[in-house]
Amino acid sequence: MIFATVVIVCASVLVWYGRSVAVSRYVLVASQLGEELMEQCVGAGFHKAEFLATPTDEPRKISLRTVMRDYEVVVTYECRVEVKDVNPDLRRVFVGISWEDERGPEEVKFETLLFRQE
């Protein structure tokens, strides 16, 4: 009886471990994509960051394929960049990376401010 209980508990821990690894992989990829887009915006500076903004109706899409336990998983990440003027000398840059996995829709967000330097 005790052995069966221990086996069931260990099996459920392994299942949750596998799911956690997959979810952390999705978040890691989304974070890397978001950081890269944010670095591009910051590197472009106050005057050129708006050219990196994505149209609201057409986010950039990146699909990645992964093989997990002999089956292929394709995750599509939607990347959006918004640049808005807060005042004449300050712009807010927002980067959002969204995807859908077994748990449903997920999103990672980055935000910063760019100041006009002249």
- Token pair in block for residue 64: 């990645």
% helix / strand / coil in the chain, to the nearest 5?
A: 45, 40, 15
Query: pLDDT tens for residues 11-50?
Result: 565 555 566 566 678 888 899 999 999 999 999 888 888 8
Is the Cα dihedral 51, 112, 79, 67 positive or negative?
positive
- Supply the pLDDT for residue 1: 66
Three-class SS state of 41: helix
Answer with the residue of higher pLDDT: 97 or 3. 97
Of 36, 90, 79, the C-alpha closest to 54 is 79
Scored b (16 or more CB within 10 A) or e, 42-68 reads eebebeebbebebeeeeeeeeeeeeee
Tell me: pLDDT of 5 over 80. no
Domain spans in the chain, listed from the N-terminal domain onward: 2-115
